[in-house]
């Protein structure tokens, strides 16, 4: 982390602060003042008009002390991923303002060299203030917060409020509409761009992991609808106690949703974890060895509790580089390896035409289906995009093969011929799209988009004249053109993990 912080400081502020040595050397050479001497030591000593200093100049010593504070505070600034309203933001802002004031108060004795050293230190503090404010007020950070608040409103109305009103049983009957609404929020979160900013990536990952955890809890509720009490208490003396635990688990689910989304002011994840652990201990103490049905019932309840416990370790989620940096994720690495191979095959197709790459491309699709996305929308989106890249090459190969086999008869209708003529043009444009590697602002992108749109208009002008086969062919050609346009857009939308 330290190495990263120093690197960020250097990139933000240019050369690292050196106690003013470079500036003083340069200044003294320019002014050629005979009273200035330099002596060996950790800093070059300075002799001013008042007499020699046995070590570094007091101004440089003070600036060096402040610089150490800047570096230490910089680590906290670079890891902060909250908003301006957060208590931690206000603390960091106060500390930086204090450092800024103390740097301004450093005495320079009117010397240009010392003034420049002080100015450089003040610039570094100012840079941290801008960095802190810029990330906390960035449009992407605001978008992340708005989606988090949208999720809070959904869950407050659908789960938390009914539970607080003593309607836990009704809250357990969470509908599929709520699950779909939360899933939609997760997908929109995954599409927010961070520009590589560590604070923004942390904020997005933190929000995303909580929304996904809530989605998992809600889907469990939809599957069970209610916390069923499947056995009669007359079956075994332990059933009554297990049923009581199940009711407590029902409440714990609602509490967990509230905790994950910041809707619980009094409870904590640690407290809920202790409660659930105590329930596990209580279940473990029950003697149900003589009854298989009761033993299986207890096992189901234990699985319910463990399913809740796995979501209670999200307190520090996003602080671990291996977690919020999805480029380090094993599934992402697997997807990227597949994309690398697809890129090679695409290049071979463009150089050699149809050369038997279809079988390997199909096997790569199968491989992608087996990649574990871990319920992470970002990883799911990465896999989806990789699938589209493969399908774009496969459909191009399929159309080229169909065009090569085409042998129209003398009785082929003019509308049908017109559709195939458009498909031939689309095949050429598809070839150009496969090789396109630019941005939406590029002229080549605009030309491709315009040409594809013209082909859609040409298809729209084809009159099938009641011929079902022509109508079907035109519909497929329209879908093919739209898929090429979508693929071109996907290649230029600057999506990130």
pLDDT tens for each residue of the chain, 497 residues long: 444 444 544 444 444 444 444 433 434 434 444 343 333 333 333 334 444 445 678 888 888 899 899 999 998 998 899 999 999 999 999 999 999 999 999 988 888 888 898 999 999 999 999 999 999 999 999 999 999 999 999 998 888 888 777 664 444 445 678 888 998 898 888 888 888 788 888 888 888 888 888 888 887 765 555 444 456 666 677 888 888 888 888 888 888 888 888 887 666 778 888 899 999 998 988 888 778 888 888 888 888 888 888 887 665 555 555 566 777 788 989 999 999 999 999 998 888 766 567 889 999 999 999 998 876 778 888 899 999 999 999 999 999 989 988 888 888 899 999 999 999 999 999 999 999 988 888 999 999 999 999 999 999 999 988 889 899 999 999 999 999 999 999 888 777 77
Count CB neighbours of 206 within 10 A: 21
What integer pLDDT is reported at residue 298 of this predicted model?
87
Calpha distance 160→441 (Å, rounded): 47
The answer to whether residues 150 and 228 touch, using CB atoms and an 8 Å cutoff, is no
Calpha distance 150→182 (Å, rounded): 9
Q: Please state the φ and ψ torsions of residue 441, each to the nearest 5 degrees.
A: -80, -10
Domain count, the chain: 4
The parent domain of residue 486 ranges over: 406-496
Q: For residue 237, how far is the Cα from the chain centroid?
A: 50
The reply to whether 332 and 259 lie within a common domain is: no
Calpha distance 109→126 (Å, rounded): 23
Q: Which of 137, 165, 187 is the last residue of a domain?
A: 137
The reply to whether 90 and 153 lie within a common domain is: no
The answer to whether residues 408 and 419 touch, using CB atoms and an 8 Å cutoff, is no
- The answer to the question of residue 17 being in a domain is no
- The answer to the question of residue 52 being in a domain is no
The reply to whether 236 and 270 lie within a common domain is: yes
The reply to whether 262 and 394 lie within a common domain is: no
The CATH number of the domain holding residue 423 is: 1.20.58.120
Paired strand residues for 51:
48
The reply to whether 163 and 291 lie within a common domain is: yes
Q: Please state the φ and ψ torsions of residue 296, each to the nearest 5 degrees.
A: -65, -35
Calpha distance 68→99 (Å, rounded): 11
The reply to whether 148 and 79 lie within a common domain is: no
Q: What's the pTM value of the predicted model, to 2 decimals?
A: 0.63
What integer pLDDT is reported at residue 22 of this predicted model?
40
CA distance between the termini of the chain: 21
Give per-residue pLDDT as tens, 333-348. Answer: 999 999 999 999 999 8
- The answer to the question of residue 8 being in a domain is no
Q: How many residues does this entry show for the chain?
A: 497
Give per-residue pLDDT as tens, 345-378. Answer: 999 888 876 656 788 999 999 999 999 887 677 8
What integer pLDDT is reported at residue 278 of this predicted model?
92
Residue 351 token pair:
């150089």
- The answer to the question of residue 47 being in a domain is no
Paired strand residues for 52:
47
What are the angstrom distances between the C-alpha of 109 and each of 50, 67, 115, 118, 132?
A: 11, 20, 9, 12, 32
Angle at the Cα of 37 (from 32 to 40), degrees rounded to 5? 140
Q: Please state the φ and ψ torsions of residue 51, each to the nearest 5 degrees.
A: 125, 170
Calpha distance 221→375 (Å, rounded): 17
Calpha distance 199→136 (Å, rounded): 8
The reply to whether 194 and 299 lie within a common domain is: yes
- The answer to the question of residue 36 being in a domain is no
The reply to whether 479 and 457 lie within a common domain is: yes
The reply to whether 166 and 176 lie within a common domain is: yes
The reply to whether 347 and 398 lie within a common domain is: yes
- The answer to the question of residue 212 being in a domain is yes
Calpha distance 198→140 (Å, rounded): 12
DSSP summary character for residue 16: P
- The answer to the question of residue 294 being in a domain is yes
Place of tokens 């056995």: 231
Calpha distance 270→109 (Å, rounded): 56
The reply to whether 298 and 412 lie within a common domain is: no
DSSP summary character for residue 14: S
- The answer to the question of residue 247 being in a domain is yes
The reply to whether 302 and 159 lie within a common domain is: yes
Residue 356 token pair:
């038997």
């Amino acid at each position: 982390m330290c190495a990263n912080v120093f690197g960020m400081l250097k990139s933000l502020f240019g050369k690292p602060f050196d106690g003013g040595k470079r500036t003083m050397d340069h200044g003294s050479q320019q002014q050629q003042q005979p009273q200035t001497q330099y002596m060996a030591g950790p800093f070059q000593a300075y002799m001013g008009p008042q007499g020699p200093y046995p070590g570094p100049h007091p101004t440089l010593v003070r600036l060096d002390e402040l610089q150490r504070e800047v570096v230490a505070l910089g680590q906290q600034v670079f890891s902060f991923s909250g908003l301006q309203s957060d208590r931690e933001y206000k603390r960091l802002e106060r500390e930086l303002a204090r450092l800024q004031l103390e740097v301004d108060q450093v005495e320079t004795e009117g010397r240009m060299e010392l003034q420049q050293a002080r100015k450089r230190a003040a610039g570094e503090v100012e840079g941290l203030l801008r960095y802190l404010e810029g990330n906390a007020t960035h449009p992407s950070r605001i978008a992340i917060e708005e989606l988090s608040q949208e999720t809070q409103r959904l869950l407050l109305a659908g789960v938390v409020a009914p539970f607080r009103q003593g309607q836990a049983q009704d809250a357990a009957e969470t509908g599929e509409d709520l699950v779909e609404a939360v899933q939609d929020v997760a997908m929109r979160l995954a599409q927010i761009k961070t520009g590589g900013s560590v604070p923004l990536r942390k904020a997005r990952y933190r929000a995303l992991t909580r929304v996904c955890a809530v989605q998992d809890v809600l889907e469990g509720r939809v599957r069970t609808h209610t916390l069923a009490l499947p056995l009669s208490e007359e079956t075994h003396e332990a059933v009554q106690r297990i049923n009581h635990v199940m009711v407590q688990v029902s409440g714990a689910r609602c509490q967990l949703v509230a905790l994950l989304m910041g809707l619980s002011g009094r409870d904590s994840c640690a407290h809920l974890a202790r409660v659930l652990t105590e329930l596990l201990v209580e279940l473990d103490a029950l003697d149900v060895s003589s009854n298989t049905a009761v033993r299986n019932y207890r096992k189901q309840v234990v699985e319910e509790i463990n399913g809740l416990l796995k979501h209670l370790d999200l307190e520090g989620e996003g602080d671990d580089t291996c977690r919020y940096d999805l480029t380090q994720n094993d599934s992402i690495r697997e997807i990227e390896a597949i994309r690398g191979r697809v890129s090679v095959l695409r290049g071979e197709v463009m150089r050699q035409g149809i050369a038997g790459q279809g079988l390997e491309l199909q096997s790569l699709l199968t491989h992608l289906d087996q990649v574990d996305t871990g319920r992470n929308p970002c990883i799911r989106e990465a896999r989806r995009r990789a699938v589209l890249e493969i399908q774009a090459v496969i459909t191009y190969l399929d159309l080229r093969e169909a065009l090569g086999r085409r042998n129209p008869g003398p009785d082929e209708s003019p509308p049908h011929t017109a559709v195939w003529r458009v498909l031939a043009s689309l095949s050429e444009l598809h070839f150009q799209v496969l090789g396109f590697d630019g941005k939406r602002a590029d002229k080549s992108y605009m030309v491709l988009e315009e040409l594809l749109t013209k082909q859609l208009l040409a298809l729209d002008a084809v009159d099938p004249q009641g011929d079902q086969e022509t109508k079907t062919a035109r519909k497929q050609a329209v879908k093919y053109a739209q898929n090429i346009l979508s693929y071109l857009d996907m290649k230029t939308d600057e999506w990130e993990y």
